[in-house]
Structure 1
Amino acid sequence: MFDTCADPAALEGLSWFLCYLTSGKHMMFYWSFLIVLALLAVTAPVALGLGFAGALAARARAAPLRWVGKGYTAMVRGVPDIVFFLFVPVALDQGLEWLRHKWKCPDWDAPIRQGNDFLVCAQAKLPLSSSPQIWHDIYGFTLAVVAFAVVFGAFAANVLHGAMAAVPRAQLETAEAYGMTPRQVTRRILIPQMWAYALPGLSNLWMILIKATPLLFLLGVTDIVYWARELGATKSAIYDYPHPDWRVWYFLVLLAFYLGMTSLSERLFRHVSARLARGQATMAGEAMRKARA
């Protein structure tokens, strides 16, 4: 990265370490931390949105909607996560390319399925082979977000459905007695109050999501675990920066990163839980009321 790092063989001591830690592969290692944070920042609201929709569907009066909501949560929760992490990106990728193939290459007469190969015309590829690498990276990241959101959205739906059922029925009946419509009861009474009951389950789900980020490598995204293993492994003299097995040090960095993330998350959830418990008919709310008395 620096001019002084042009000849690694001539470096020693602190200069060697500075050049080693600022090499191109290390820059990609540092960038992978941002990729993990971006995945969490995007996946969490998307999964929460899917979970909220699934929970409302499971409570719907219309039987088809109720079947869809309950079927979604039951199917995803009953199948190993890794199956969905492998299935969703492949199915979505091939489905989009198949649609583009039918639109852009209507005269194509060769079968798309040829043994184990899935062959579409060049114009239907996503992204195009001529596209810059950045678009390939964005496309892979998007597929990863969808896979994570589908899996964790089902768990969020189960948590939110249970939280909605935990809201005291007497409060809903009181709102109905005042003339509120079912939609008004859901929007003004049920949803605002269910967060106090949902937060413990959602906080656990967030911790699981943080720990699941190393599964990015299954989706073709080079994550921090991949780079820690790659950079820390023994490098012989044929490499620019030969060194012994340093994987333990790289994994200690990952340990500190994940512990820092979970510690910060726990503090944030405790603060939010205390805010939501105020005035609520929950154990936490009662404890706060008694403490003020």
Structure 2
Amino acid sequence: MFASCADPSQLDGLAWLLCYLTTGKQFLFYGSFLTVIALMVIVAPVALAFGFAGAIAARAHFAPLRWLGKGYTAMVRGVPDIIFFLFVPVAMDQGLEYLRSKVLCPSTGQSPWHDGEFTVCAAAKLPLSTTPQIWHEVYGFVLAVVAFAIVFGAFAANVLYGAMNAVPRAQLETAEAYGMTPAQVRRRILIPQMWSYALPGLSNLWLILVKATPLLFLLGIEDIVYWARELGATKSGFYAYPHPDWRVWYFLVLLLYYLGMTKISEYFLGKLTTRLARGQATMAGEAMRKAGA
């Protein structure tokens, strides 16, 4: 990055370290923190939407829809997360390419799944081989977001379903007695009231999501774990900046990062819990009422 870094062999001490920390690969390491943060920021609302849909479906009076909602949560909760993290991207990728092959590929009369391989014509590939590398990375990231959203959406659905059931039935019956339709009761009474009950579970789910982001490494995405392992490993004299095994220091940075993210999350979640508990008939709301008295 700096002109003085042109010949690393002539550097030592702090000058060597400064040049080492400003190499292109080091900036990829720094940028990977943004990738992880982007994953959390995008997955959280998408998973919440999945969870909300699953919870509403599980409470539906229409039996097939209720079975679908309960089946979604039961299936994902009953299978190890890593199975879904690995299965969903592969299944989506092959499914999309299969649909594209039906339109873009000449008919061969043979299934794309044959001889133990999945093969489609070049025109059906996602992304195309001629597509810039950045779009290959974006595509992989989108598949990862969907996988995370499906898994955490199922857990969110379970939390929201329990929170909806925790809203006192008397409040819903009172709203019905005033002539509100089921949709109005759900929109004006049930959903606003449930958040104070759901937030503790959703808070834990958010912290689990924060800790689950290293699974990006298993999906082939160059995240912070990938770069910490890559850059921290022993580098011989063949490299511009040779060094011994520094993985412990790189992983120490990741340790501090995750501890910092947890502390920041706990602070804002605590503020949100206090705000939602105000005036609510919950343990937190009752504690606030007594403190005010």
Q: Please say if 1:223 is aligned against 2:223.
A: yes
**Larger CA deviation: 239-248 vs 185-194:** 239-248
- Against the structure 1 CA distance between its residues 111 and 183, is the aligned structure 2 distance closer, same or farther, given a 3 Å change threshold? closer
> How many angstroms apart in 1 are the aligned matches of 2:68 and 2:237?
59
Q: Please name the residue that 1:64 is paired with.
A: 64
**Residue 200 of structure 1: aligned partner:** 200
State the alpha-carbon separation in 1 of the partners of residues 120 and 85 from structure 2. 23
Q: Does 1:3 align with 2:3?
A: yes
The more displaced of 11-20 and 133-142 is 11-20
Answer with 194-203 or 232-241: which moved more.
232-241
C-alpha displacement at 1:7, in angstroms? 1.5
1:151-185 Cα shifts (integer Å, max 9, x gaps): 00000000000000000011001101111011100
| More off after superposition, 9-18 vs 274-283 | 9-18
How far 1:25 moved relative to its partner?
1.0
In the TM superposition, what is the alpha-carbon distance from 1:235 to its structure 2 partner? 1.1
- The aligned counterpart of 2:162 is 162
Instruction: Tell me, in whole angstroms, the C-alpha distance in 2 between the residues paired with 1:274 and 1:44.
Output: 21
Describe how 1:46-57 pairs up with structure 2 within 5 A.
46-57=46-57
- Per-residue CA distance 1:64-98 (angstroms, 9 max, x = gap): 11000000000000000011011100000000000
Aligned to 2:173: 173
Question: Residue 61 of structure 1 aligns to a residue in which SS?
Answer: coil
1:189-219 alpha-carbon deviations (Å, 9 max, x no partner): 0000000000000000000000000000111
SS of residue matched to 1:143: helix
Taking the aligned partners of 2:116 and 2:14, their CA distance within structure 1 comes to 52
Amino acid at match of 2:131: S
Q: Give aligned-pair identity as a percent.
A: 75
The 3-state SS of whatever aligns with 2:176 is helix
Corresponding position of 1:292: 292
Q: Which one-letter code corresponds to 1:252 in the other structure?
A: L
Query: For 1:155 and 1:107, how far apart are their aligned partners in 2?
Result: 42
- Name the SS for the 2:240 alignment partner: coil
| C-alpha deviation, 1:19, in angstroms | 1.0
Unaligned runs of 5+ in 1: none
Map of 1:97-136 to 2, 5 A cutoff? 97-136=97-136
* C-alpha RMSD over aligned residues: 0.9
Runs of 4+ in 1 over 4 A off after TM superposition: none
Q: What is the SS of the residue equivalent to 2:9? A: helix
